């Protein structure tokens, strides 16, 4: 198992794209985790006398309309946006794996009910589902996490269901069942582990989309509530000051764009690393 993981890591970081994207992601994660130590000012500290000041040695990325340090709030915004996206997608992936595996393995009415619910939610855009759920539950980061998790749940259910359906008729499953293994053991020890690769890749790519969705909800005032910083809420505050203090909008937008692009590039590298058959074929070609 350790050898397989080391081989995967070697393939993943073999390309410059994977290394660069992984480094950028690690940097933003580190900034988010260490924001209390790295940020030069308290994120809620206001100084109206220096409001809307351009970047300087005292404030690297300028100040906002309340005189708060933009660089500080971007660091804390990374903490907010990344934690919301990663937590919500992790929950969505875990629930999707469980429901998709159960639906595919048992079939019948169980499969029909789970698939029908997934198809119904999948017929609506993620932003519409998230807006509806946040409107019902109320604004706040907790509601946003639930909304994002539910919005992306259908794709993981469908993906895991398809993987399990393609695997459950294999010889090794029949052999395991003939040896007396229970349905739970077959699912947990054999089917789900062999079906995880595409789900992990989809979860990685969905994390970037979740960052954008969280920022969108915060942009509309439904996510992080003042004074908690979020990239989306910072961009919302900067829209009315684009010509007076464009840095308030531009720098959080750049942070979000760089993070999302890096996650997508890392996801592409992960797809290539997990495509073992293609790697083997390429190795055999002279």
Question: How far, in Å, CA of 261 to CA of 8, rounded?
Answer: 22
Please name every residue paired with 63 in a beta bridge, in sequence order, or none if there are none: 69
pLDDT at 18: 82
Contact 242, 251 (CB under 8 A): no
* Residue 63, phi then psi, degrees to nearest 5: -125, 160
Q: How far is CA 278 from the centre of its chain?
A: 27
Sign of the alpha-carbon dihedral angle for 38, 40, 42, 48: negative
pLDDT at 277: 42
- pLDDT band at 12; cut points 50, 70, 90: low
pLDDT at 221: 86
What value, to the nearest 5°, has the Cα angle with vertex 75 and ends 36 and 246?
Answer: 140
pLDDT at 72 over 50: yes
For residue 75, give the H/E element and its range: helix 70-106
Ramachandran area for residue 110 (φ above 0: left; ψ -120 to 50: alpha; else beta): alpha
- Is 254 exposed, middle or buried (CB count within 10 Å of its CB: 0-12, 13-18, 19+)? middle
Domain residue ranges of the chain, discontinuous segments joined by +: 2-48+60-284
Q: Which two tokens stand for residue 72?
A: 């500080």
CA distances from 240 to 8, 122, 144, 155, 245 (A): 47, 35, 24, 36, 9
Which has more confidence, 199 or 283? 199
Q: What is the percent of the chain where pLDDT is above 70?
A: 91
Q: Which residues have a Cβ under 8 Å from the Cβ of 52 and sit 6 or more positions away?
A: 62, 63, 64, 65, 241, 244, 245, 248
Contact 129, 209 (CB under 8 A): no
HSE-up of residue 86 (Cα within 13 Å, Cβ side): 12
Supply the DSSP symbol for 61: T
What average pLDDT does the chain have?
87
> What pLDDT, in 10s, does the model give residues 106-142?
988 999 999 999 988 888 888 888 988 888 888 888 8
Ramachandran area for residue 60 (φ above 0: left; ψ -120 to 50: alpha; else beta): alpha
Q: Which two tokens stand for residue 68?
A: 């708060």
Fold of 2-48+60-284: MetI-like fold (1.10.3720)
Q: Which two tokens stand for residue 26?
A: 């690690």
Contact 248, 241 (CB under 8 A): yes
> What pLDDT, in 10s, does the model give residues 79-116?
999 999 999 999 999 999 999 999 999 988 999 999 99
Q: How far is CA 168 from the centre of its chain?
A: 29
What value, to the nearest 5°, has the Cα angle with vertex 83 and ends 124 and 140?
Answer: 65
Question: How far, in Å, CA of 37 to CA of 33, rounded?
Answer: 9
Helix (H, G, I), strand (E, B) or coil at 28: helix
Q: What is the percent of the chain where pLDDT is above 90?
A: 55
pLDDT at 16: 77
């Amino acid at each position: 198992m350790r050898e397989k993981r080391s081989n995967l890591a070697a393939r993943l970081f073999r390309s410059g794209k994977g290394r660069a994207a992984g480094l950028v992601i690690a940097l933003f994660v580190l900034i988010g985790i260490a924001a209390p130590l790295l940020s030069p000012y308290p994120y809620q500290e206001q100084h109206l006398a220096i409001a809307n000041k351009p970047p300087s040695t005292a404030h690297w990325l300028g100040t906002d309309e309340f005189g708060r340090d933009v660089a500080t709030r971007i660091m804390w915004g990374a903490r907010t946006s990344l934690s919301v996206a990663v937590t919500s997608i992790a929950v969505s992936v875990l629930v999707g794996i469980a429901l998709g595996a159960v639906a595919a393995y048992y079939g019948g009415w169980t499969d029909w009910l789970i698939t029908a619910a997934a198809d119904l939610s999948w017929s609506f855009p993620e932003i519409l589902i998230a807006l509806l759920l946040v409107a019902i539950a109320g604004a706040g980061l907790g509601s946003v996490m639930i909304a994002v998790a539910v919005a992306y749940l259908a794709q993981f259910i469908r993906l895991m269901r398809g993987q399990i359906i393609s695997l459950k008729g294999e010889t090794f499953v029949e052999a395991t069942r003939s040896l007396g293994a229970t349905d739970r053991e077959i699912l947990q020890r054999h089917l789900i582990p062999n079906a995880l690769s595409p789900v992990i890749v989809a979860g990685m790519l969905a994390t970037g989309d979740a960052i954008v969705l969280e920022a969108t909800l915060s942009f509309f005032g439904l996510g992080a509530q003042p004074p908690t910083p979020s990239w989306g809420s910072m961009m919302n505050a900067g829209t009315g000051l684009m010509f007076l203090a464009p840095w308030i909008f531009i720098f959080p937008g750049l942070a979000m764009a760089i993070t999302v692009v890096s996650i997508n590039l890392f996801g592409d590298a992960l797809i290539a690393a997990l495509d073992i058959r293609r790697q083997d074929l390429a190795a055999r070609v002279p």
